[in-house]
Amino acid sequence: MKNLRPIILAAVVIAAGLLAFGLGTRPGAASSDAEGFSAARAVEDIRVMSKEHHSVAHPEERARVREYLTGRLEQLGVDTVALYRYDSLTGPQNKHVIYTFDAIDILAEFSPLKESEDTTYLLFVAHYDSRYSQPMPKDTVWSYGAADDGYGLSVILETVSQLLKSRAQWNQGVKVLFTDAEEVGMIGMKAIWENDREVFDNVGLMINIEARGPWGPALLFETCPGNSKVMDLYAKAADYPFTYSLTTVVYSFMPNFTDFTIVKDGIPGLNFSTIADINHYHTDLDNFENISEKSIQHYGAQVLPVALEYLTDPAYSDKDYLKADEDTVNFTIPVLGLFNFSKGMYKVVNVAVYVIFLLLLAFAGIRGRIKPARVFRNSAVVLGTAVGILALGEVFAWVCSAISGAKFKLFGIIVGVTFDNAAMAAFVAVMAVVTVLVYLSGRNKAMMAVSGSMRANAPVNAAIRYADNTLYGSLVLMLVLSAALLFTIGENLMFFIPLAFATAGVMLYRITSLKLWLVLSVGLVLLHAFSFLHALAMALTIGAFGAVAMLAFIDIMVLVPLVDLYLTTTKK
């Protein structure tokens, strides 16, 4: 069996990577003759709308997109479609150029066939203007709006077309709002919210669809305050869910906003977006040639079943049904799916894991597997090294920015480093190799220290003790950081999930003596790390790479001793 362990380990690592990046865990693009949501049909709408730049600086081209959208809504059999016009507006503010334009929002309504005196509505929102001029390191460019927000427009059109097949079962209706001038400060949404608030009076749920780059999974990156009931709906209905409640916290500190920002305090809602790649966002690379049908299909896999559940369940006829006072803590792990906790329950789960880990730590100390002083020293070393990697990662980002001629922003959004994804992956790979080499050097020293022992298994036991001391040192650090974040901001998944999986693996190994539990915990930690750290890197860009590298290093310092314990065989 021991000869198979390296093969099993390699298979687990490869499988974790493939699953984390979408193999079998995200839907494939459906063809144009598919029964349900079809990315191929949505693409045909994008093909038409992204032919020309259609920003606020392009009134004629924007008008053509608007006419196309109203025509498509009429093809779907819309009950009413209205234009809301707001004249002589200006934007963007505090930029190098100011545009003057008229904003014209499109509002469509599809009522349920069932008669009702006071119908509640699901509101779909996307914007139809593309990004205005964007200064880049070497030129000023204009977006074609294929992803931002061609994805939103096309996904909504295709979703509504599928929903209409079950219109006889609707208890609620559908409104579609295609806003204008979102790119210049959500002006179209602000105008209709401030001047025509009655549009929203009977809306019980809003789904906003954005795109921050053309690739990758469609992430539910933001929800409304008091999201517990909204997340219950999403957890119940969405296929291939992909979300982290942490992103709502992070997004609140970022300078980007969407139409949902204007209304989220008053209307329960969900905000979806792709998040890769920043160099295709708001630039001329946001064009039809760069769209991803797989990403479009992932939107539909989540949005369509949620919308169908909302429209057909009579419980949602109460406009205020989804309003709540509590938020949830939620995250997805590929294969395992969506975890959605009340804040109270999440604290209970955390404390349970902390207690189990501390019992394991105490038991290891009693059995002589670890030395407490060495464990805590290792924790300090890992923390100090992690801080150093944080700084080194930012220096690396500065160098990459200088090479590309991009403006460096410490922990900020950096556009223009065209090789950023490859550079970040290479940095983490080199860091992992160096970490393994340093670990092996320390391990060899520990084995050499007992080489003169008369006990044949002394070197192997020394290696196991070294692995245990390193592992528990890293996990003690994770426990401290996890607890600190839990009781300050309530979000700690980057530390808690690896801590939980590693604790479970070690506990089950100690109980059963089966090393399979160790490699399983390695696979689960990698599933989370690959998925979450990639999403974090794409969202924060290379400007905050130091933070991503630091988190990756701490994960590696858990994985390396786990792998060592799995591969090492104790001599009898």
Domain region containing 43: 29-333
Collapsing DSSP to helix, strand or coil, 569 comes out as: coil
Model confidence pLDDT, tens digit, residues 130-139: 999 888 777 8
Q: Which of 333, 365, 388 is the last residue of a domain?
A: 333
pLDDT of 2 over the 90 cut: no
- Indicate whether 247 and 141 sit together in one domain: yes
pLDDT band at 357 (very low <50, low <70, confident <90, very high): very high
Is the domain of 328 the same as that of 347?
no
Q: Within this chain, do residues 347 and 318 fall inside the same structural domain, yes or no?
A: no
H or E stretch covering 82 = strand 80-91
pTM over 0.85: yes
Tokens of 243: 């979300």
Cα-atom radius of gyration of the chain, to the nearest Å?
26
| Mean pLDDT along residues 501-523 | 97
Q: Are residues 355 and 288 in the same domain?
A: no
Under DSSP, the state recorded for 130 is P
50 confidence band (pLDDT: 50, 70, 90): very high
**267 and 184 housed in the same domain:** yes
360, 507 in Cβ contact below 8 A?
Answer: yes
Q: How many structural domains compose the chain? A: 2
Question: CB 343: neighbour CB atoms within 10 A?
Answer: 16
pLDDT above 70: residue 482: yes
Decide which of 474 and 99 is more confident.
Answer: 474
User: Same structural domain for residues 181 and 164?
Assistant: yes
pLDDT digits (tens, 9 = 90+) for 426-457: 999 999 999 999 999 999 999 998 877 767 68
**Confidence at residue 255, expressed as pLDDT on a 0 to 100 scale:** 60
Q: Does residue 14 sit in the same domain as residue 52?
A: no
Pick from 312, 333, 354: which residue ends a domain? 333
Residues 191-225: tens digit of each pLDDT: 999 999 999 999 999 999 999 999 999 999 999 99
Do residues 188 and 103 make contact, with C-beta atoms less than 8 angstroms apart?
A: yes
In a domain, 62, yes or no: yes
Answer whether 498's CB lies under 8 Å from 525's CB: yes
Does residue 227 sit in the same domain as residue 163? yes
CA-wise closest residue to 191 among 103, 90, 69, 62: 103
Q: Which of 298, 333, 368 is the last residue of a domain?
A: 333
Q: Do 536 and 401 lie in a common domain?
A: yes
Specify the CATH number for the domain of residue 95: 3.40.630.10
What pLDDT sits at residue 572? Answer: 41
At 198 the pLDDT is: 96
Same domain, 453 and 558: yes
Per the domain annotation, does 552 fall within a domain? yes
Asked if residue 24 belongs to a domain, the reply is no
- C-alpha–C-alpha distance, residues 65 and 60, integer Å: 9
What pLDDT does residue 451 have? 77
Asked if residue 572 is part of any domain, the answer here is: no
Q: Clarify whether residues 155 and 269 are in a common domain.
A: yes
For residue 69, name the pLDDT band (cuts at 50, 70, 90).
very high
Cβ neighbours of residue 99 under 8 Å, at least 6 residues apart?
56, 57, 90, 91, 92, 132, 184
**DSSP result, 250-267:** HHTTSS---HHHHHTTTS
> For the chain, what is the mean pLDDT?
94
User: Is residue 105 situated within a structural domain?
Assistant: yes
Do both 283 and 366 map to the same domain?
Answer: no
Q: What percent of the chain has pLDDT over 90?
A: 88
